Structure 1
């Protein structure tokens, strides 16, 4: 990685990176900045949304992980990202699966594979990421918040591993065999703007769309899935790259319904997929734009 500015994105499964950060990554790649994605599991237990590929599901014939490995490679190529890695190597940590809580957020399933990422030793998993951090020496790290965005156990574990690895990678006496210590300047957590979500749902309902984000009231309680805008630090304007992002997302074919909200939203005037929001978890906030948000994750560096 020879770019002067380098960002590391840590995600739980293939497709998470494109949904959360696809526009940001495409923008930075086009600008010649270093972009690396570390994927913690192959998503072997994900829900297959395409009927003709349902046989790949974990509870059927299996093989979804290998398929999703191909999908993320294609998606990264479309975004212009040339460096995607697997935490500890492909297959080292298994998808943990999930269940839905009555309140609408994800929770750990009752039965979890022994090799599941959720059961991984935190030091062991963090050490695998320490090696990557010390090699890449990024100034910026991006991952989930402590809730993993929506409660998925692998997202929560990815948050824990990323945050712990960042601390360990910087420690001047920690396992020097893993590389020369490196302190990451800024750490961000992915966020969904509460104001943007309310505005989008309101426009959907006014247009007669009652199915997308079903049950969510634009004027009611939004739950833990969104972040109050006063807590958001950065807004990346990737609208010039939203088409690229949506094309990359379509390449995660087992995971995304082409007729679902991702694509119907992208084709309408109320789409927000080209603007991506972040909460600063470590580091000094840089200069902000007129809206009060940083416009670049490297701002101030």
Structure 2
């Protein structure tokens, strides 16, 4: 198997990408997925949870709207994936991402709290149906069922740190790695998204690629997530970087650049 992640992607006809919550596909891999879709690659998205524990941007939801947050976020991810050019998306625990003979199951957003500096854990309010509290083997079996249904050549998922330590991301990494190992499929791990300097290009084994021409699609996808963050506009640098502000007030950047490595 090639150790060049981009060679594997360029040769793949079908790619499955695994994310933890609605909006992760846009923030972590929006430029990559839009680029793949534009080049004719079949891109299939699997989302583990429905993002039920996410905070809401004030004023983003009409007080008269009776829908639960999970339903609102499902509409958001539908709009975002459409903008990125991804017509196929699935929910873990719902067929075809469900093990044969198993009853449908919900992997609820675990939320997040800092247990100590540098170590995140599920929110205190998370229940037994939270993604991180359900048996890992259930999620692995459900992902294996989807792999058998979709038959991708490559699977994209998080690295060991889950990009920023969210417990659902870390758990998604373990589930994806286990399923890929059993299925004999290459897993490509996503870098944190921080642009490398010339000095550390290729650090930690990541290989980087820019995605020109997809900024407008990524912006439309980001603008679909009105409950989660505010799109501030493009960075003055002119490289297509999108500036956003999370519900907690933190400013962030969505770059038209992706770092990947092959999980060994």
Provide TM-score, normalisation by structure 2.
0.78
Q: Give the Å deviation of 1:278.
A: 1.2
Cα offset for 1:164? 1.1
Structure 1 gaps of 5+ residues are 171-182, 200-226, 283-301
- Asked whether 1:268 is paired with 2:214, we answer no
| CA deviation vs aligned residue, 1:218-264 (integer Å, no higher than 9, x gap) | xxxxxxxxx973224332321211221122111111111223xxx3x
Does residue 15 in structure 1 map to residue 20 in structure 2?
Answer: no
Q: 2:113 aligns with which of 99, 104, 108?
A: 99
Superposition RMSD in Å:
2.6
Which structure has the highest strand share of the two? 2
1:25 aligns to what? 33
Q: Distance in 2 between matches of 1:12 and 1:54?
A: 26
**Rounded Cα–Cα distance in structure 2 between residues aligned with 1:163 and 1:52:** 36
Higher relative contact order (CA 8 A, sep 6+): 2
Q: Which residue is equivalent to 1:162?
A: 176
The structure richer in helix per residue is 1
Deviations 1:8-54 (A, max 9, x none): 10000000011111111111111111100100000000111243428
| 1:141 aligned residue | 155
Secondary structure of the residue aligned to 1:146 is coil
Does residue 36 (structure 1) correspond to residue 44 (structure 2)? The answer is yes
Structure 2 CA distance for partners of 1:134 and 1:114, relative to 1, 3 Å: same
Partner of 1:178: none
Conserved 8 A contact 1:193-1:232: no
Question: Judging changes above 3 Å, is the alpha-carbon distance between structure 1 residues 76 and 191 closer, same or farther for their aligned structure 2 residues?
Answer: same
Do residues 64 (structure 1) and 69 (structure 2) align? yes
Q: Is the 8 A contact 2:193 2:257 kept in 1?
A: no
CA distance in 1, matches of 2:127, 2:81: 28
Q: Kindly indicate whether residue 245 of structure 2 is the aligned counterpart of residue 277 of structure 1.
A: no
The structural deviation recorded for 1:279 is 2.1
Paired residues, number: 229
The DSSP-based 3-state class of the residue aligned with 1:76 is helix
Name the counterpart of 2:8: none
State the distance in 2 between where 1:29 and 1:41 align: 23
Output the CA distance in 1 between the equivalents of 2:28 and 2:107: 21
Which contiguous aligned blocks of 4+ residues in structure 1 show a shift greater than 6 angstroms?
Answer: none
CA shift, 1:108, in A, is 2.2
Does 2:84 match 1:75? no
Q: Which residue of 1 aligns with 2:190?
A: 190
Shift of 1:165: 1.2
Instruction: Describe the shift of the 1:73–1:234 C-alpha distance in structure 2 as closer, same or farther (beyond 3 A).
Output: same
Kindly indicate whether the alpha-carbon contact (under 8 Å) linking 1:19 and 1:249 is maintained by their aligned counterparts in 2: yes
- Between Structure 1 and Structure 2, whose CA radius of gyration is higher? 1
Counterparts of 1:88 and 1:133 in 2: how far apart (Å)?
13
Deviation, 1:267, is 3.2
Matches of 2:17 and 2:155 in 1, distance apart?
A: 6
* Counterpart-to-counterpart distance in 2, 1:50 and 1:64: 13
Deviation at 1:63, TM superposition (A): 1.1
C-alpha change, 1:47 and 1:146, in structure 2 (3 Å) is: same
Contact 1:144 1:190 in 2 (8 A): yes
2:198 matched to 1:230?
no
Distance 1:42 1:154 in 2: 11
